[in-house]
Amino acid sequence: MSFWHPDRLPLIFLGADDTRKSVTGTTETEVKYFRFNQPSINPFNKIKVNLSLWVTGGNGIASIYIDDEASPRLTLNTNSTSEKILSGEFNIGDLSAGIHTLRLKIKNDTSGQTVYTELLEVYAR
């Protein structure tokens, strides 16, 4: 028996960025952004993000925001000193139809340490 479920819908590739960015210290800084359209007919329910993250020391934190929201929709972290791929999904069913901006902000939890990101892939379903 087969059941339909939104999490089983295929992923739709929205875009990617493979530019290396870094932040030193504990101040959260926007390093990448990506604009996408939330369709009015058959709107997306979820965004899936794959991103690379690594540090010189401490713990690297990547947070995904939508538009100018004060709280992140997704937070990923690692203490890996080599490039590591992290993935996560979050709900966007509450977004109105139209253009929105996904913002990637990174920081390190340790003063003087650096966090790096390079790959960012964005998918929707």
- pTM score of the predicted model: 0.92
φ, ψ of residue 98 to 5 degrees: the values are: 130, -170
Question: Could you state, in order of their start, the residue ranges of all structural domains in the chain?
Answer: 19-124
Q: C-alpha angle with apex 65: 64 to 67, nearest 5 degrees?
A: 150
Is the CB of residue 50 less than 8 Å from the CB of residue 119? yes
pLDDT, tens digit, 9 for 90 and up, residues 3-17: 555 566 789 999 999
pLDDT, averaged across the chain = 94
Rounded to whole angstroms, how far apart are CA atoms 84 and 86? 6
81 pLDDT more than 50: yes
Closest to 65 in 3D by CA, of 110, 26, 103: 103
Degrees, nearest 5: CA angle 19-76-121: 40
Q: For the ranges 2-6, 32-36, 43-47, 111-115, which has the lowest average pLDDT?
A: 2-6
CATH 2.60.120.1340 given to domain 19-124:
yes
User: Residues near 65 by Cβ (< 8 Å), separated by ≥ 6?
Assistant: 71, 72, 73, 102, 103, 105
* Contact call for residues 27 and 97 (beta carbons, < 8 A): no
